Amino acid sequence: MVQILFLDTDIILDYLENRNREVQDIVAQLLLLHKKGKIILATSVFNIAELIDKEFDIHFLGWCLKERMSYDEAINKLRRDEKLFKEISNKNRKEIEKRIEDFIFKKEIRIFSLSGIEEYKELYNLIYQRNLKSQDALVIATALVNKVTYFLSNDSNLTSKIGDMLDAYNLREKNLREAFRSNVLEAI
């Protein structure tokens, strides 16, 4: 049975935005294994929506830094200045779309979602018993119902809350990253 590795939004962002070289290297290895059919790489429709949103934020805040705005000015402008929002959106949308589509669709990353009432019932457990935010609950429920083998994230709070439900690795944490390399990558 082929193992399914689920990529959380921040892992994809590390790869697309060249944010963390070590995580990028792991993702590059995973992409090669995925291309060879040795593993399945997956994410969720909810992660893609978050990815689009965060890519906008990154480009918007990058523009604010170029304009030498303070943190408070940038945050106050973020999504409140409709004219500026449209200007930044129009300027960056095509590039962001291409980067996300190249990563998700050209590399044939599987996109999971929720579809049935039983699947949605898992959200109650995740929100009320695990204290997850709605976006995280949607992502984790999707990973659970699609029976992923490994959940890869950089969110230590999230991975600690779900560690008994999924085999989760926080790839930003050196010890967990090394454990993933030796326990998972080398075994594939």
Residue 90, pLDDT score: 84
b vs e for 101-111, b when ≥16 Cβ sit within 10 Å of the residue's Cβ?
eebbeeeebee
What whole-number distance in Å separates Cα of residue 55 and Cα of residue 17?
9
Q: What is the pLDDT of residues 63-102, one digit of tens each?
A: 788 889 887 877 777 667 778 778 878 888 898 999 999 9
Can you tell me the mean pLDDT for 51-62?
86
Q: Which of 21-25, 85-89, 90-94, 172-176 has the lowest mean pLDDT?
A: 85-89
Angle at 49 between CA 108 and CA 25, to 5 degrees: 50
Q: At residue 51, does pLDDT exceed 90?
A: yes
CA 178 from centroid of its chain's CA atoms: 20
Q: Which residue has the higher pLDDT, 85 or 21?
A: 21
Q: Is the pTM of this model over 0.85?
A: yes
Q: At residue 37, does pLDDT exceed 90?
A: yes
**51 burial class (0-12, 13-18, 19+ CB within 10 angstroms)?**
buried
What whole-number distance in Å separates Cα of residue 97 and Cα of residue 94?
5
Can you tell me the mean pLDDT for 2-30?
94
What whole-number distance in Å separates Cα of residue 150 and Cα of residue 94?
32
Q: What is the pLDDT of residues 111-164, one digit of tens each?
A: 999 988 877 888 998 999 999 999 999 999 999 999 999 999 999 999 999 989
Residue 79, pLDDT score: 65
Among candidate residues 128, 162, 120, 171, the one with its CA nearest the CA of residue 145? 120
Q: Which CATH class is domain 3-185?
A: alpha beta
| 133 phi, psi to nearest 5 deg | -70, 160
Residue 148, pLDDT score: 96
Q: At residue 1, does pLDDT exceed 90?
A: no
Q: Give the strand pairing for 150-153 and 168-170.
A: parallel
Enter the tokens of residue 9.
């939004």
Angle at 25 between CA 59 and CA 28, to 5 degrees: 85
Split at pLDDT 50, 70, 90, the class of 181 is very high
